[in-house]
Chain A
Amino acid sequence: MTVDAGELWHAAERGLLQPVDSAVLAANIPEAYRDPANRWFGFSIRARTLVYSTERVKPEELSTYEALAEPQWKGRLCLRTSKKVYNQSLVAMLIAQHGEELTEKVVRGWVENLATDVFANDTQLMEAIAAGQCDVGIVNTYYFGRLLRDKPEIPVKLFWADQEGSGVHVNVSGAGITAHAPHREAAQKFLEWLSQTESQSMFADRNLEYPANPGVKADSIVLEWGEFTPNPINLSKAGELQAAAVRLMDRAGYR
């Protein structure tokens, strides 16, 4: 059980996980959020999207991840370190869409627009936006949810990226059964239980992510952010392209 589809993909790729054929899981977890060979299943979904200062940015100015590379954001962008796997998966998705050349241009543009050195985490980044150090950034939604729970008045809002194009980058926390698991059946039962309504809403309330089971509602804080179109690329792509993403970010000077 871990976060990030890239990690799950690596585990599957190295033969650590075994396929699970379960009608329950197949019914509860949409195809985009599980391994094509059923070796892992996502149980909750986190979107990585834009945040902006309500004091200095109008939502009309925002559109896509790529647009943050444009010169109007010079000195106004905050990013988290490229060492974090979430950014690696985001860039991997961009590579899948645009190829390496164009993606590298985008990432270079981001780096040029940075208001300050990259942050070690999303929370610090949003606090920097609130404090006025920068105006826009890219974060995982649940970090924003946690911050809102602590500080409801914070002048920062979410913006769903690329709604007219490919959609918001999503990722999962998920699980699979190890290849030599001694209690295979119990493990499968547990996974099935995790995909059901009761446990899915427990998940959603506690971590402020989106339940993977489309029949289950997210937490009320999360629901207030409204609906969004997720990027339909299968998440195992993120795993495949992760190493390429890491190197691309090194080349572009994204630290």
Chain B
Amino acid sequence: MATPASNRYASERSPRILAGGLALALCIPALAPLIVIGFAAVSPDAEIWSHLARFVLPEVASNTLMLVISVAVIGGMLGTSLAWLTAMCEFPGRRFFEWALLLPLAVPAYVLAFVAVGFLDYSGPLQTALRGTFGSSVWVPPIRSLGGAAMVLSLATYPYVYLLARSAFLTQGRRALEAAQALGYSRSQASWKVALPMARPWIFAGIALTAMETLADFGAVYIFNTRTFTTAIYGAWFGMRSVTTALQLAGVLMVFVLIVFVIERRSRASAAFASARDMTRGSPRFELSSTGRVAAACFAGLIFAIGFALPIVQLAIWAIERIGDLDSRYFGFVSRSLLLAGSAAFMIVSCSVLLAYIQRRLPSRFSQAVIRLATLGYAIPGAVLAVGVIVPIIFLSNALQDLLRTWFGAGAPTIMFQGTLLAVLLGYLARFLAVGFNPVESGLQRITKSVDEAAISLGVTGAALLRRVHMPLLKTSLATAATLVFVDVMKEMPITLIVRPFGWDTLAVRVFEMTAEGEWERAALPAVAIVLVGLVPVAMLTRRGAHVA
């Protein structure tokens, strides 16, 4: 369908080349780390590598694998069952749990982790009380273990499965069930044989997201002292001082990531087959037996309590105990967090708009591929990106330095891009471009070509079309994109920690430093601030969810 507008653009070569170039440039932050890792893989530091392969890799790989599998299974079951209950059944408190079960999204895994360790460890309040009452607490399983880490990561990530599975059940589930029942299946047969299989792509996509989060997690496993790839990368850099080794570990981690990534892409593709609206209207929810209703409410209540309510209460108590910590330094932590999050949000939303318009105006295989590449970074763990971004930056600034030296001699100004905000922001751009791009893209898709044509026929063209028609229509999507990026950056730990400029401590870095010293009470205050900000997009999601349901 050739429209006047697209014809005009297609006939002009120079904007096309410019746009292509810009889009390609946006791929660099995500691609450069992968290329660097590729180079490192072919030039191993043989001596260190053989040591790692023998003593470190086996443990790291098996820990990572076990962790991913258990989080996928536990998080998948929690998310699917809760989604089923709130979408298909009726039980006391259902309306409340519908949105409340999303709240753990606001709590970063590393915060949940230190609350769990602080509260549940041998010397923590729970076991101390148990020993006081029963004389012994040896029967309590150790929290600082792989199992503990898996539990916490499952609680922190099940909402991804919940969210996707729920929308699958809501948009197709009950109607499909009615049809199946009309064809002679019993209710439970219909559930297992029709509704669940139909929701499978959504559930798998959700599980793939939890797996990706688990592979990318650094803060939580650090607190549990579980050796996984991300902590091994950090250790190779800061303990062995070998960036090459860090890159090689990153390479092995990327193999795991790739597998999960393929699963996610496949599931998403098949999830596209049926997403009709308003399928729920009129079809009644399941009536549970009275025991079933109580059990459903208890189950949802339990997960809500241990995933959100209790940790928040504990955090609040600790934060109030240590409120004396709140001194002028906090002004710095907060303002640096806000500044980083704000500038990242601005940068990423701008880039997303650019990409989305390239996709709209110059749709081609090339632009599709470029956008895929540029938004790939969400699958790359922060620890990998950190190493992958800093190495080319050091290389670049050294090359520039040499160039300046040959021009100006010894008096040349010193170039050091490493340890600047630029490096941190590039890392964020790679990691979070997809987070910003998806809402902008879907917002722009909702503005149909006919809207453009109507505007053009009324004489509104070019920049005025953008300003007067597109921007007002896109406002909500842009705000959503900016908020999501803002919060993700506030929570982000490994990139900020590894690449940040000297002395640039943010709230998340403060949490890291306090938990690294085991000062759980003192980590609570910055954590509370991060959680409060994190509640904003969850509230937005909830409101949007209310429209669907």
Contacts and interface: CB of A to CB of B under 8 A. Distances in A.
B241 A117 contact: no
Contacts of A81: 225
Given A10-B241, A250-B55, A119 B518 contact: yes
Interface stretch (B83-91, B121-129, B264-272): B121-129
B193 to A, nearest CB: 45
B240 A246 contact: yes
A123 B517 contact: yes
Contacts of A132: 131
A116 interface: yes
Contacts of A250: 51, 55-56
Interface string A126-138: 0110111100000
Nearest to A128: B123
Contact of A243 (B145, B227, B240): B240
A88 B235 CA distance: 12
A133 B225 contact: no
A207 B239 CA distance: 25
A94 to B, nearest CB: 17
Given A83-B239, A88-B239, A246-B240, A119 B122 contact: no
A169 B128 CA distance: 33
Given A81-B225, A119-B225, A121-B518, A131 B239 contact: no
Interface residues of B, number: 27
Given A120-B223, A131-B123, A255-B225, A83 B55 contact: no
B128 A131 contact: yes
A200 to B, nearest CB: 24
Nearest to B118: A124
Nearest to A253: B55
* Majority SS at the chain A contact face: helix
Given A118-B225, A133-B122, A180-B414, A247 B516 contact: no
Contacts of A121: 516-518
Contacts of A246: 239-240
Contacts of B517: 121-123
Interface string A216-255: 0000000000000000000000000001001100110001
Contacts of B231: 83
In this complex, the member of B51, B127, B239, B517 whose beta carbon has the largest number of chain A beta carbons within 10 angstroms is: B239
Contacts of B121: 124, 128
Contacts of A120: 144, 222-223, 225, 515-516, 518
A129 B51 CA distance: 34
A131 B122 contact: yes
Interface string B119-155: 0011100011001000000000010110000000000
B519 interface: yes
B143 to A, nearest CB: 10
A85 B142 CA distance: 25
B519 A117 contact: no
B144 A117 contact: yes
Given A120-B223, A124-B123, A250-B51, 18 more contacts: A85-B239, A88-B239, A116-B142, A117-B142, A117-B225, A118-B225, A119-B518, A120-B144, A120-B518, A121-B516, A121-B517, A122-B518, A180-B414, A243-B240, A243-B241, A250-B55, A255-B225, A255-B227
7 contacts: A10-B241, A116-B122, A117-B142, A121-B518, A243-B240, A247-B55, A250-B55
Interface of B: 51, 55-56, 121-123, 127-128, 131, 142, 144-145, 222-223, 225, 227, 231, 235, 239-241, 414, 515-519
Rank and list the top 9 A-B pairs by shortest CB-CB distance, nearest first. Answer: A121-B518, A131-B123, A127-B123, A124-B518, A250-B55, A123-B518, A133-B122, A128-B123, A121-B517
